[in-house]
Structure 1
Amino acid sequence: MLQIRWHSRAGQGAVTGAKALADVMARTGKYVQAYSVYGAEKRGAPMSAYDKIDDKPILDHSKWMTPDYVLVIDPSLVFQEEIVDNTKDDTIFIVTSHMNKDDLLNIAKHLQGKKLYVVDAIKISQEEIGRAIPNTPMLGAFMKISQLIPFEDFLVSIKDILSKFPQKIIDGNIRAIKRAYEEVK
């Protein structure tokens, strides 16, 4: 089973991103779960969301996991050691930051020795969507790193998922996804 944990602040779209990823993967015939954990938090409070993806029915509905991927979509949360809780030696971290990987590792010592990729999903979302909602750029970076499904197949599904929005929003999100796919390092 593939397990993904998202760390963000309320309002940044982690719940929507987790649900969109689950929707895309369900369309490929996979069994999925997407859920979040937060209390009566206000916008901006730290929270987490989760995805589970498998070829067979998923019977475990708990939030406890040892994630294969950790997606950190708020730059300030990179410095909280909780992001490495319950991870494995081969867990892959994809974080949004304006810093390059080496500078980030010099500050966030708890990430040293981890498989780490960096993308500035905040900047990309501001420039392409017009708002700091970094969930779709993070999905683009995740698709590049995970190679879970062909990128073109992902784009077809995500365009369909976004079809309830005005074309301007769809176009901005697709540009953000493609840009993060290219810029993640």
Structure 2
Amino acid sequence: MLEIRWHSRAGQGAVTGAKGLADVVAGTGKQVQAFAFYGSAKRGAEMTAYNRIDDSQVLNHEKFMRPDYVLVIDPGLVFISDICANEKEGTKYIITTHLSKEELIAKKPELKGKEVYVLDCIKISRETIGKSVPNAPMLGALLKVSNGLGGNMDLEYFLERFIKLLGKKLPQKIIDANREAITRAYNEVK
């Protein structure tokens, strides 16, 4: 089972990102789960979202997990939240930051020796979508780092399915901006 934990602030799109990811993955025949845990229900409050992906039915509905991937879409949470909680050997971290990987690890020594990837999802979303919604770029980064979630999908397949989901609710201009944000993050994550 593949487990993903998102660290975010309410309003940054982690729940929407987790649900969008689940919708796309469900189309491949996999069993999926997407859910969130909110501290306080105010915009800007710290929160986590979760995904589970498996070939067979997912019966575990607990928020406790030992994640394969930890996605941090608010850079400040690296320093005030225990993003390494319940990690396992091989957990990969994808972190939104303007810092280089080396600078980030120097400021957060707990990440030393771990598989860490960085990119500035906030900058990407502002430059492509026009506002700070870092969930779409994070999906692109996850797709790249996870090798298409274990080889199940390439970037074009993901974009086609994700854009189809967005097309039900959003104007074409926003759909195109999300496509650009996902593609750019896929290419920029280091």
Q: Which residue of 2 aligns with 1:150?
A: 154
**Aligned equivalents of 1:69, 1:145: Cα separation in 2:** 9
**Aligned equivalents of 2:92, 2:80: Cα separation in 1:** 16
The gaps in structure 2 that reach 5 residues or longer are none
State the Cα RMSD in Å.
Answer: 0.8
Secondary structure at the counterpart of residue 83 of structure 1 = coil
Q: Which residue of 2 aligns with 1:99?
A: 99
> Is 1:6–1:14's contact at 8 Å kept on the other side of the alignment?
yes
TM superposition score normalised by structure 1: 0.98
Cα deviation 1:148-182 (Å, max 9, x = unaligned)? 22111101101101102001110111000000001
Moved over 3 A (4+): none
> Is 1:37–1:48's contact at 8 Å kept on the other side of the alignment?
yes
**Aligned equivalents of 1:78, 1:161: Cα separation in 2:** 30
Secondary structure at the counterpart of residue 36 of structure 1 = strand
**Aligned equivalents of 1:83, 1:41: Cα separation in 2:** 20
**Aligned 1:1-185 pairs, distance under 5 A:** 1-147=1-147, 148=149, 149-163=153-167, 164-185=169-190
The gaps in structure 1 that reach 5 residues or longer are none
% identity of equivalent residues: 59
**Aligned equivalents of 1:10, 1:62: Cα separation in 2:** 20
TM superposition score normalised by structure 2: 0.95
Secondary structure at the counterpart of residue 145 of structure 2 = helix
